[in-house]
Amino acid sequence: MEKKIILSGIQATGVLTLGNYLGSLNNWVEMQDKYDCYYMIADLHTLTIRKDPEELRKNTLALLALYVAAGLDPEKNTIFIQSHIPAHPALSWVLNCYTYMGELNRMTQFKDKAAKHADNINSGLFTYPVLMAADILAYNADLVPVGDDQKQHLEITRDIAERFNSIYGKTFKMPEAYIGKVGARIMGLQDPTSKMSKSAVNELDKILLTDTPDEIRKKFKKAVTDSENKVRYDKEAKPGVSNLMSIYGIIKHKSMEEIEKEFDGKGYGDFKSAVAEAVVERLEPLQKRYNELLESPEKLRAIYEKGDKKAREITDKLLKEVYKKVGLVI
């Protein structure tokens, strides 16, 4: 039987958080043996918010290094840079003509970002989901592993694909979001009612993948909990503790019941340090590999050149089919 196709990506915007890692990258690593996987560095998407050009270039290679350091094997996966594949923006243009303003207007991420960057509500920010649809549909992906904040973008991708297929006959496969049961939404450590975000102003709210062990310990120590002093999973009544349990559970491969048992009779102090140590233990080797890879730009180049080549071959074929169907001379 043919392996199912996976595609996903992360924006090349500076350092990732533990939320990005547990919500996406960590799942990708677990999928690499079972599926035919395509993982890209989403650099075109980052242009929707103004960036320093040198910083973007640096972030792009750093993210590639992080993919590999987190455990993605370049021999098993196709790892590539989005802007190196001309079919992404080309297909995005075509799909833009099959997407309605009303649909894009409903995207909560657009509303959030437009509010945050009121001085630069460019049309790229508005059509961002269409480029994401092109990323996914260009590979005929079956599954797209993402955190649950991307669910709406997957829904619009399916709507666009369905519309195109119904006009021109089956062209695109219908992709599905693959969202982990736990960790789909890691919350802030200071405000456990909103997601942990790269752009959080309060440094204590987020764990960065490059944080030192002492920074990690300090942030968990200061994490907001509640006054019950009992490790018990209840997302509504105990959002802080439940979030810490999710983090611990993913890293230690433990269910919430197992964690409740493990910390039965123990207070939050013990629990928080156990969570911090689990995170430190996971991130230390990752950071070591990451720093080594950053020192070998030629290794990184070889990885993306290999990935780019394969990605280009696949998407050129599909783009031609789309161009032909809509009536362009090919």
Contact residues toward ligand TYM (CB under 6 A) are 7-11, 19-20, 23-24, 42, 45, 132, 135-136, 144, 146-147, 149-150, 184-186, 195-196
To the query of whether residue 195 is one of the catalytic residues in this protein, the response is: yes
Q: Quick one: 204 or 330, whose CB is closer to ligand TYM?
A: 204
Q: Are the C-beta atoms of 98 and 163 separated by less than 8 Å?
A: yes
**198 has catalytic annotation:** yes
- Rounded to a whole number of angstroms, the minimum distance from the CB of residue 195 to ligand TYM is 4
Catalytic residue among 195, 206, 219, 238: 195
Q: Which of 51, 58, 198, 221 is catalytic?
A: 198
Q: Is 113 a catalytic residue?
A: yes
95: its two tokens = 């799909």
14: left (phi over 0), alpha (psi -120 to 50) or beta: left
Beta bridge partners of residue 80, listed in sequence order: 40
Tokens 């611990």 sit on residue: 248
- Closer to ligand TYM by Cβ: residue 20 or 287: 20
| Nearer CB in complex with ligand TYM: 7/311 | 7
Spatial separation of the C-alpha atoms in residues 299 and 292, rounded to whole Å: 10
CB of 8 to ligand TYM, least distance (A): 4
Q: How far apart are CA 126 and CA 103, in angstroms?
A: 10
Distance in angstroms (rounded) separating the CA atoms of residues 186 and 206: 10
Return the number of the residue (148 or 262) whose C-beta is nearest ligand TYM: 148
3-state secondary structure 23-49: HHHHHHHHHCCCCEEEEEEECCHHHHC
Q: Which residue is nearest to ligand TYM (CB)?
A: 23
Minimum distance, C-beta of residue 172 to ligand TYM, in the bound complex (Å): 14
Rounded CA separation 307/82 (Å): 10
State the minimum distance, in angstroms, from the CB of residue 228 to ligand TYM. 24
Using the minimum distance from each CB to ligand TYM, give the nearer residue, 115 or 329. Answer: 115
Closest distance between ligand TYM and the C-beta of residue 270, in Å?
25
Neighbours of 286 (CB within 10 A): 17
Which residue of the set 113, 206, 238, 272 is catalytic? 113
Question: For residue 131, which of 80, 181, 105, 92 has the smallest C-alpha distance?
Answer: 92
- By annotation, the residues acting in catalysis are 113, 195, 198
